[in-house]
Amino acid sequence: SIKNAPVVYLHQSFDRREMAALYVAADALVVTPLRDGMNLVAKEYVACRNDEQGVLVLSEFAGAADELSDALLVNPHDIDGLKAGLLRALHMPLDEQQRRMRALRERVFDSNVSRWVQGFLGAVGAAADQRTADEGLDAEAPELSPHTFLSSTMQDRLRRLATAPTLIVATDFDGTLSPLVENPSKARILPRAQRALDVLAASPGVHVAVLSGRSLASLAETGLRSDGWAVSGSHGAEITGLGADHGGGALTDDEQGRLDALARRIERVLGGEQGMRIERKPFGIAVHAREVADTRAADELLAAAEELGLTAGFEPRKGKMVREFSARKVNKGQALEHIRQQLPASPVIFLGDDVTDEDAFAVLGSQDLAIKVGEGESRANERVADPDAATAVLAWLAQMRTGVVVGSS
């Protein structure tokens, strides 16, 4: 019977009302062509979901995938990956469904025929500008390293942001502006990134912010020059600059006592392990394992740190080879919203590489740009490979905004 059949294949046409009803009833829509055109059925599904529920599973080879980046993008040639995508769609929490569908609907309704015409003419103009530059007639046209790839959607979004009356450029530090190093005290911002952010900060209407898990004191020790910027440390427990100063207040005696007790326990259990480093912060403790030689041993030691924190009533914050425990429940998303509230209403571009940056990605809207640096699952709608590529994005944005060339030398 149809009720017990794993797949019901209906080879027939449906009128508009019936199709809309099917779209609204579907927990997930799977559109997985191996090679195809726009696949507007994906956009129809999104347009019908005014309940902001349901999950779109979309082939990365579909034309619509360039716009619908908040869908679960899959490679239909990868059977295991496709199965994983289907399982994730069917078990996706309601809040994530709503977040993704809300972003998809904004994208579908914003990308109307007028926007398409503007984008097409803009692309034609950009191509003409590039041809002029190639012929040596315009030395100021933005350039990218041949090793840096930016998707067409990212370039379009960067061009839009570059012409916004006001703009907030926010970024993580470690793994984004600075390559990850075994000893965090040796991290330094890439010189080109510093120059690009300096140029952007000096541009009228642009505000620069750095959001880091480091304390403000630790950021200062890296040599970061941030005069005139907003800087958030300790995952948002400390904020300074651009009128967004927020010290979080001193720890209460109870908070300090709990933190001290946890520090003693971690030091007693893990302090003697080769390569482990325990860092005290103004509002918490970080346990680093980047210098542990064996990856499996590092994972086990970090798991032990998590257990110690949970036992003491602290929620572990996971990062790349680090676990943190804070006396204050704050995150980078809250810090970004706090900074944003102090400034004129502006679109935001945020670049980050770590799990803790996902909180900032989560508060961005359809007019903002979230860029994940490196590998790993992310809420971000765009991605670059590494800090060098992130720096190239900032340099390109600076040049489009101001005309100032931020070279790599």
Q: Which amino acids are annotated catalytic? A: 172
Q: What is the DSSP letter of 384?
A: E
Helix, strand, coil shares of the chain as percentages rounded to 5? 45, 15, 40
Burial of 348 (0-12, 13-18, 19+ CB in 10 A): buried
The runs of H, that is alpha helices, within 111-215 are: 113-134, 152-162, 191-202
* Cα three-residue angle 153-156-162, rounded to 5 degrees: 140
* Cα three-residue angle 88-92-96, rounded to 5 degrees: 125
Pairing of strands 230-233, 238-240: antiparallel
The 3-class secondary structure across 326-373, one letter per residue, is ECCCCCHHHHHHHHHHCCCCCCEEEEECCHHHHHHHHCCCCCCEEEEE
Tokens of 303: 């798991």
Inter-residue contact 46 to 28 (CB < 8 Å): no
Distance CA 51, CA 38 (A): 24
Tokens of 244: 């967004």
Distance CA 48, CA 13 (A): 18
Which CB contacts under 8 angstroms, 24+ apart, belong to 120-126?
A: 122/156, 122/159, 123/156, 126/159
Tokens of 282: 């103004």
Distance CA 190, CA 360 (A): 22
Burial of 223 (0-12, 13-18, 19+ CB in 10 A): exposed
